[in-house]
Amino acid sequence: MANKYSVFDCAVIDLGKISFEEGNITIVENDNIFPFNVKRIFYLYDVAGGESRGAHSHIICHQFLIAASGSFEVALDDGKYKRQISLNRPNMGLHILPGIWASEMNFSSGSICLVLASHQFDENDYIRNYSHYLDYRKNIDANE
């Protein structure tokens, strides 16, 4: 069964921050405030200014994006509504649910986008063509 999430179900979550004289630390642990168990971690870096990344949707995988350094924006689309989120603090992250089209853009110089995913890589979980994505969303609506 497909998940019918909206862009409004995607949430920015404060992971907290522990401050020391020497600097700060943010802890991400499964089975804590984090919204899913992490099975894969990757990060985007050296993205040229003005370039975009992502531009796809997942069928079952949840993603959590953190601006580990610098800033970037995430454009969310559920086929009906669009929403744009700015990430610029390493203790805040965006939970992107399955079935949401997402693109990362407007990377600042030297930014790092840390991605924590609920599933290991599976090409069959990706929808990379926007018109196919809209068809997928229509099928979800039809099966409500």
pLDDT single digits (tens) 11-62: 999 999 999 999 999 999 888 888 899 999 999 999 987 788 889 999 999 9
Please, what are the domains in the chain? 7-142 (2.60.120.10)
Can you tell me the distance from the alpha carbon of 112 to that of 10, in angstroms, rounded to the nearest whole number?
Answer: 21
Alpha carbon 41 to its chain centroid, in Å, reads 12
Neighbours of 119 (CB within 10 A): 18
**What is the model's pLDDT at position 29?**
87
Question: 90 phi and psi, to 5 degrees?
Answer: -70, -5
**What is the model's pLDDT at position 85?**
98
Can you tell me the distance from the alpha carbon of 67 to that of 1, in angstroms, rounded to the nearest whole number?
Answer: 32
Judge whether 132 counts as a catalytic residue.
no
Q: Which of 56, 58, 95, 119 is catalytic?
A: 56
User: Terminal CA-to-CA distance of the chain, rounded, Å?
Assistant: 10
